[in-house]
Amino acid sequence: ALKCGFCAFSKGKASEALRGPAYLVPLAEVARRAAEAWARGATEVCMQGGIHPSFTGDTYLDLLAAAKAGAPHIHVHAFSPLEVHQGAATLGLPLHVYLSQLRAAGLGSLPGTAAEC
């Protein structure tokens, strides 16, 4: 999350050095971490990272595919409403269609944050 007023984990641009540099977790690492979590007894993983300027709706689908590849039966709790909105917008899809795609890809539930009006 870039300079989020609510998030303790938000980051800034490299020149701002806000709580350390921003980073991306590669898809293979997402799969590995999901598998490790499942092996240790976890039943759920949470993925949330804010709005990345280069992410498309396909990026979020790829993240789900990676988590499910690592642990097919794990519950995936992921993506803020704002991330879902951005994902749908980048693909030119209505929200209900994109949410159906996310669910089919393995999304189990959404966190209840970033829906401020």
9-41 pLDDT, tens digit per residue, is: 566 655 565 556 667 899 999 999 999 999 999
> How far is C-alpha 19 from the geometric centre of its chain's CA atoms?
20
Q: Is the pLDDT of residue 1 over 90?
A: no
102-115 as b/e: b if 16+ CB within 10 A: beebbbeebeeebe
Higher pLDDT, 59 or 8: 59
State the sign of the Cα–Cα–Cα–Cα dihedral 111, 4, 7, 76.
positive
Residue 60 in tokens: 């979020």
DSSP 93: -
**62-101: burial string, b at 16+ Cβ within 10 Å, e else:** ebbebbbbbbeebbbebbbeebbbbbbebeeeeeeebbeb
pLDDT of residue 48: 84
Q: Which pLDDT does position 16 carry in this prediction? A: 60
The reported pTM is 0.83
- What is the pLDDT of the chain when averaged over all its residues? 86
Predicted confidence at residue 10, as pLDDT, reads: 60
| 110 three-class SS | coil
- For the chain, the farthest-separated pair of C-alpha atoms sits apart, in whole angstroms, at 41
